[in-house]
Chain A
Amino acid sequence: MYDFAYHRPKSVADAIALLKGNEEARPMSGGMTLIPTLKQRLARPSDVVDLGGLKELAGVKVEGDTLVIGGMTKHGDVATSADVKKVIPALADLAGHIGDPQVRNRGTMGGSVANNDPAADYPAAVVALNATVITNTGKHTADAFFKGLFETALGDGEIITAISFPKAEKAAYMKFPNPASRYAMVGVFVAKTASGVRVAVTGAGPSVFRVKAMEEALSKNFSSDAIKDIKVPADGLNSDIHGSAEYRAHLVGVMARRAVDKASK
């Protein structure tokens, strides 16, 4: 790891002042991705701005039919939160299967969503639930937030302060974890909320994406039978030593059907 200047701001304003206009600075939330990246010398920031001191960004609030989860809320806290379990149990379930217990004790929702790893779990939940990503400068809809491989709509000096999830009538997440890394080879989050049915896929492509054909079929008939004949094209999907694009395309169908069955229970 190359050395860097370390900062631990006490407020969001102080953090932004350190990040804004400094292209060589990187924010760090739980560090579960950034620290391994630094160790491999895949990144060489001049400054690391540790958001760990921003206690106001951690925690879960229920506002009417909406869950507002602070950007610095750890996966383990989302998984065990009574409020999350009550309003969107599928989200607690997803968080409880990220990485391993030690990763869940450090990694944060905001960090994962801002990083937009193609195999991260949270982006599928954010898109399927049609959540709103709240930052220090404004709001992004889920569809507009995830731009591509490790790319998001976050601008210079912009960090995720919270994510707001509408209550789901039905929701479930199913993933096929890579047997070694446990990252999602394919993960499918299916949700029925006030804004309709959404099916979001992570792990399979360069970034999270929706399967509109499944959404339309499930809107008419929310059952796994309704999507059993829908094939997802393999074009553009990830292909590596763990699985071909065709295999991942097949897994999308399998995981989607399992998620619908789980959500229907």
Chain B
Amino acid sequence: MTISVAMTVNGKSVSGKVEARTLLVQFLREHLGMTGTHVGCDTSQCGACVVHVDGQSVKSCTMLAVQAEGAKVTTIEGLAPSADKLHPMQEAFRDNHALQCGFCTPGMVMSAIDMVKRHNYVLDEATVRRELEGNLCRCTGYHNIVKAILAAAPAMKSAGV
């Protein structure tokens, strides 16, 4: 079944024709060519595909593109305010060496931003570790990821993002 779908991705209106079974992550990667969002496990476990849909973090491999009809979607490509400036969370990941191979990073960053906002910019280490339950890093680089998120929380607050 082919369906027309329209949504806002990183502030731009986009549309396309998809099959009912097309996943949101397939729409982003294969229809829009936005490959920043990764597919790791494709079984809702690893979180490499996390994007924000209407402000909430979701696993885009476990949502149909048609379910995002009319929604506002933000991906890793939509975070940096300009070509030479990163989002505070991205900056904190770089400063803290919070990525090794980088494959899980887009999902980690998207989950982390949602986490910081839900906790009103106040986090402790135990909370960060528990909140990262849905994101796996196969390099097992969690320690620096946690450090980066703890550093980004106040930075996001001062930047007002």
Contact = CB atoms under 8 A, between A and B. Distances in A.
B57 A105 contact: yes
Interface string B50-91: 100000111100111011010000000000000000000000
Nearest to B54: A105
Given A32-B44, A100-B47, A52 B134 contact: no
Interface range on chain A (Cβ under 8 Å from partner): 20 to 34
A106 B63 contact: yes
Contacts of A3: 1, 19-21
Most chain B CB neighbours (cut-off 10 Å) among A3, A6, A99: A6
Interface string B123-161: 000000001011100000000000000000000000000
A4 B67 contact: no
Interface string B107-130: 000010011001000000000000
Interface string A87-102: 0000000000001111
Given A101-B114, A101-B133, A52 B44 contact: no
Interface residues of B, number: 30
A102 B47 contact: yes
A103 B20 contact: no
A4 B81 CA distance: 39
Given A39-B42, A101-B111, A4 B69 contact: no
Interface of B: 1, 3, 19-21, 23, 42-45, 47, 50, 56-59, 62-64, 66-67, 69, 111, 114-115, 118, 131, 133-135
- 3 smallest beta-carbon distances between A and B, as pairs: A100-B134, A6-B20, A100-B133
